[in-house]
Chain A
């Protein structure tokens, strides 16, 4: 059976070059030292980690000293929120974010609310866009941090980060963006975006799982989140995940070169897939912004049937996709993102996300366009909701 992986927003297979770059650091006969050790074993590992840091910094146009390695995007998001809030809590206690953030932002926000901080969750429009003017209007003299994702993981909408940054300029408010879905996938330049903090996760752009980073603009008042040794300029105490960092460095290096190709390849496939689906299947809607969207993302609501049933049937045909975000796929709650863009719960339940990646081909898209409409037809034939219509 044909295997088609179209769940690249959940995770990506590490590039062969990435695995290759990690191997010396996984090999007992090569570099295994602790980067904090002063002897040659340690210093060899230290030098490698710093080389990787430079590659990460180059991808997002930052200074290497502004990069702190973490265990992934979720830790980076937690670190950003806690770090800024606790460092500035003598004067400020307010966070502004949106209703469509990843749970790696929403869950720490809810925790911080329990600790006495105040959080404003902004609405988005029907396409999932945040209105920069609403961000501006929500700012008070107590606002310490604005955190708005660069692009949404479910519906792929790209937020007007640079525009928001301009409105925040001079307001004494730190600006964080969760760029887990964009780093290595579209152009991410911290200076163009105008952000103070940016989270990324290696496994979303062909690096390994368990490695991520937080960009912290020079001068940002931050507290450490992971407390231990003096690693990462005392901003994250824990022995560095050397192989993971090396893999991420390589993934960044390749992304920088390969980015235009990636965008072109995926945009072509995406448009073919979404146009095909919308043409072939009746009562189907594309979720997210029609143009301001990730090149990889096709998220659709198929009326009268359940996302879970579609997923299961696609899986049986060798097609791997997702309903909502992978992290919440085990819960049967309707997606908070789809509810926030105004979808009624029954339509939110009928959503399915195709996210494309480097190994997908036109033939894969053709396969999906052949199989998926048949599945929809089959499920709809069994659905009591169709008859009601």
Chain B
């Protein structure tokens, strides 16, 4: 019997929604102008970009002038970190982040360390949670930026962003959050989160790859990362990726409109998945916060199982052991280690990340396949 491949890796990337593609196509065909051109063909492209900007602003609850388009979440993070560091280097050289950030935060931080900045990588608790008190205690007169992800990509733990934001504002320190994993999954209103900067990646919420957003709160000054002509109000040079920006705008609109529906739907499936697995498999550990967690994310460690080897055996099911960006090594996840998960158990971790196209039937299938496989692997070892 052949089985259709099942996709449970929505935190790595999502398919582009059909409505999103439909809005993009005219901008790949008819409205091909350069938005910077003053003629009618350029203006049509510009209108598409500006409509998308409005939609993103609506989703985040901010003004259109606070939105710049980038080539993705990584670029947005790079702009935020390097851009703030460059502008405020005379004021201070200290940055606060956490040990469980995405490489697109960790690597710019390491780069800044080589340039003479000091970076504090805050620990997290057993659930992957940053303690706002730790942030407060770590602030020095030299602190210029705090960057804490909105939710973790591997375990889904949602950070107390608003609490940290309050502290940052009280101390007059800029606060950035990498929201690549939260758009469309939980609420992401910038005023509630009290962030000055927020990064978004299109392909994590049914928009195309190669496009993202950086929210820059009014009055926040940044040195651009990519220098050139005056695109994006002089904050990001490069001809706009019009079709993808239009797609991201549409996806943002849908994400806002369908948030509650989506949240309920994936949460229900995820809970069924979790309970289905714990019914059939013993000796497992839930990684991440039991409640304050993305509704679509389930990270489980199976004792005595090498998860990477196991996933290789499940050809028809797309799952991940860690984040897609560093898939390929057999190293325990840094995020899990930071949470205090034993290395052996960390090597047995599987991340299920659900999305809008998953069905009850797929949940039933994966429970049956996975539990059979794990029990078989364990029997062989005994």
Is the C-beta of B74 less than 8 angstroms from some C-beta in chain A? yes
Is the C-beta of B361 less than 8 angstroms from some C-beta in chain A? no
**Chain B, Cβ-Cβ closest to A45:** B13
Is the Cβ of B74 less than 8 Å from the Cβ of A226?
Answer: yes
Per the 8 Å Cβ criterion, residues 13-72 of A in contact with B are 13-14, 19, 22, 26-29, 32-34, 36-42, 70-72
From A34, A102, A238, A330, contact of B9 by CB (8 A) = A34
From A40, A238, A244, A329, contact of B38 by CB (8 A) = A329
Is the Cβ of A210 less than 8 Å from the Cβ of B37?
Answer: no
Is the C-beta of A169 less than 8 angstroms from some C-beta in chain B? no
From A40, A227, A244, contact of B78 by CB (8 A) = A227
- Cα separation A312 to B39 with both chains bound (whole Å): 7
Is the C-beta of A386 less than 8 angstroms from some C-beta in chain B? no
- Cα separation A298 to B16 with both chains bound (whole Å): 41
Is the Cβ of A74 less than 8 Å from the Cβ of B104?
Answer: no
State how many angstroms separate the Cβ of A325 from the closest Cβ of chain B: 7
- Cα separation A345 to B78 with both chains bound (whole Å): 39
**Chain A, Cβ-Cβ closest to B206:** A28
Is the C-beta of B108 less than 8 angstroms from some C-beta in chain A? yes
Per the 8 Å Cβ criterion, residues 63-96 of A in contact with B are 70-75, 77-78
- Cα separation A34 to B325 with both chains bound (whole Å): 9
From B9, B17, B37, B40, contact of A10 by CB (8 A) = B37
The segment from B189-197, B281-289, B310-318 found at the interface with A is B310-318
**Chain A, Cβ-Cβ closest to B317:** A39
- Cα separation A41 to B326 with both chains bound (whole Å): 16
Is the C-beta of B98 less than 8 angstroms from some C-beta in chain A? no
Instruction: Kindly name the residue among B74, B308, B319 whose own CB sees the greatest number of chain A CB atoms within 10 A.
Output: B74
Is the Cβ of B15 less than 8 Å from the Cβ of A326?
Answer: no
Is the C-beta of A249 less than 8 angstroms from some C-beta in chain B? no
Q: Residues of B within 8 Å of A, CB-based: how many?
A: 77
Is the C-beta of B209 less than 8 angstroms from some C-beta in chain A? yes
Is the Cβ of B228 less than 8 Å from the Cβ of A37?
Answer: no
From B13, B103, B357, contact of A33 by CB (8 A) = B13
State how many angstroms separate the Cβ of B308 from the closest Cβ of chain A: 8
From A32, A107, A315, A328, contact of B40 by CB (8 A) = A315
Is the C-beta of B298 less than 8 angstroms from some C-beta in chain A? no
**Chain B, Cβ-Cβ closest to A41:** B318
Is the Cβ of A26 less than 8 Å from the Cβ of B111?
Answer: no
- Cα separation A361 to B297 with both chains bound (whole Å): 56
**Chain A, Cβ-Cβ closest to B323:** A229
Is the Cβ of A32 less than 8 Å from the Cβ of B107?
Answer: no
Per the 8 Å Cβ criterion, residues 218-234 of B in contact with A are 223, 225-231
Is the C-beta of A173 less than 8 angstroms from some C-beta in chain B? no
Is the Cβ of B13 less than 8 Å from the Cβ of A228?
Answer: no
- Cα separation A41 to B12 with both chains bound (whole Å): 11
Cβ contacts A84-122/B at 8 Å (1 or 0 each): 000000000000000000111001101100000000000
* Total number of residue pairs linking A and B with CB closer than 8 Å: 277
State how many angstroms separate the Cβ of A355 from the closest Cβ of chain B: 11
Given known pairs A108-B227, A203-B239, the reply for A239 and B72 (CB within 8 Å) is yes
From A19, A75, A229, contact of B238 by CB (8 A) = A75
Instruction: Kindly name the residue among B15, B71, B103, B325 whose own CB sees the greatest number of chain A CB atoms within 10 A.
Output: B71
Cβ contacts B23-53/A at 8 Å (1 or 0 each): 0110011001110111111100000000000
State how many angstroms separate the Cβ of B9 from the closest Cβ of chain A: 6
State how many angstroms separate the Cβ of B24 from the closest Cβ of chain A: 7
Is the Cβ of B72 less than 8 Å from the Cβ of A230?
Answer: no
Is the Cβ of A39 less than 8 Å from the Cβ of B238?
Answer: no
Given known pairs A13-B32, A330-B36, the reply for A228 and B104 (CB within 8 Å) is yes
Per the 8 Å Cβ criterion, residues 174-230 of B in contact with A are 201, 203, 208-211, 223, 225-230
Is the C-beta of A301 less than 8 angstroms from some C-beta in chain B? no
Is the Cβ of B38 less than 8 Å from the Cβ of A315?
Answer: yes
Is the Cβ of A244 less than 8 Å from the Cβ of B39?
Answer: no
From A33, A74, A244, A326, contact of B226 by CB (8 A) = A74
Is the Cβ of A26 less than 8 Å from the Cβ of B229?
Answer: no
- Cα separation A320 to B41 with both chains bound (whole Å): 7
Is the C-beta of B243 less than 8 angstroms from some C-beta in chain A? yes
Instruction: Kindly name the residue among B39, B40, B211 whose own CB sees the greatest number of chain A CB atoms within 10 A.
Output: B39
From A72, A77, A228, contact of B239 by CB (8 A) = A72
Is the C-beta of A233 less than 8 angstroms from some C-beta in chain B? no
Is the Cβ of B37 less than 8 Å from the Cβ of A322?
Answer: yes
**Chain B, Cβ-Cβ closest to A110:** B227
Is the Cβ of A78 less than 8 Å from the Cβ of B28?
Answer: no
Is the C-beta of B96 less than 8 angstroms from some C-beta in chain A? no
Is the Cβ of A7 less than 8 Å from the Cβ of B102?
Answer: no
Collect the chain A residues with CB atoms within 8 Å of residue B209's CB: 34, 239-244
- Cα separation A289 to B317 with both chains bound (whole Å): 60
State how many angstroms separate the Cβ of B109 from the closest Cβ of chain A: 9
Given known pairs A7-B37, A201-B239, the reply for A237 and B357 (CB within 8 Å) is no
Collect the chain A residues with CB atoms within 8 Å of residue B75's CB: 71, 226, 238
Is the Cβ of B78 less than 8 Å from the Cβ of A228?
Answer: yes
- Cα separation A209 to B239 with both chains bound (whole Å): 7
- Cα separation A34 to B326 with both chains bound (whole Å): 12
- Cα separation A102 to B42 with both chains bound (whole Å): 19
7 examples of A-B residue contacts, CB within 8 angstroms: A27-B21, A29-B15, A34-B324, A40-B318, A71-B75, A210-B241, A308-B38
Q: Which 8 A-B pairs have the closest CB atoms?
A: A241-B210, A210-B241, A229-B325, A327-B229, A71-B71, A28-B15, A228-B104, A238-B74
Given A208-B28, A208-B243, A320-B41, list of 15 further CB < 8 A pairs?
A: A28-B357, A36-B326, A42-B324, A71-B72, A71-B238, A78-B227, A111-B223, A228-B102, A228-B325, A230-B103, A238-B75, A241-B241, A242-B210, A244-B241, A311-B39
